[in-house]
Amino acid sequence: EAQVTQNPRYLITVTGKKLTVTCSQNMNHEYMSWYRQDPGLGLRQIYYSMNVEVTDKGDVPEGYKVSRKEKRNFPLILESPSPNQTSLYFCASSPLDGYSNQPQHFGDGTRLSIL
């Protein structure tokens, strides 16, 4: 089954304790992206990647890191989490064909609480 898998689904942690949210897709998609969703703000892009070793900042990259060492994986790293990073996070992937018509496939989301 074609899917984007995020782990963990839920995490409660404390300020300053490094954490990683994993994302893996099995569709051989070139494009992968991370979003955070906050009430009233919709989804905002954190980082995206157009292929292995190619990553770029979205609209809200501060406090986050990513890596793309393999095509299927795109982990999100919070080196020193703070309470303002409490949010619902989505990973998404899509093919990249030079056109604009490819929708993104989303993971089920990770609800992150930073105390």
Partner 1 sequence: AQKITQTQPGMFVQEKEAVTLDCTYDTSDQSYGLFWYKQPSSGEMIFLIYQGSYDEQNATEGRYSLNFQKARKSANLVISASQLGDSAMYFCAMREVRNFNKFYFGSGTKLNVKP
Question: Which residues of the shown chain bind partner 1 in the complex (CB under 8 A)?
Answer: 31, 33, 35, 40-45, 48, 50, 56, 58-59, 88, 90, 92, 96, 98-106, 108-109
Minimum CB distance to partner 1, residue 90 (Å): 6
Minimum CB distance to partner 1, residue 80 (Å): 26
CA distance 28 to 77: 22
Residue 56 or residue 79: which is nearer to partner 1 going by CB? 56
Minimum CB distance to partner 1, residue 43 (Å): 4
Q: Which residues make Cβ contacts (< 8 Å) with residue 102, sequence separation at least 6? A: 31, 94, 95, 96
CA distance 29 to 88: 23
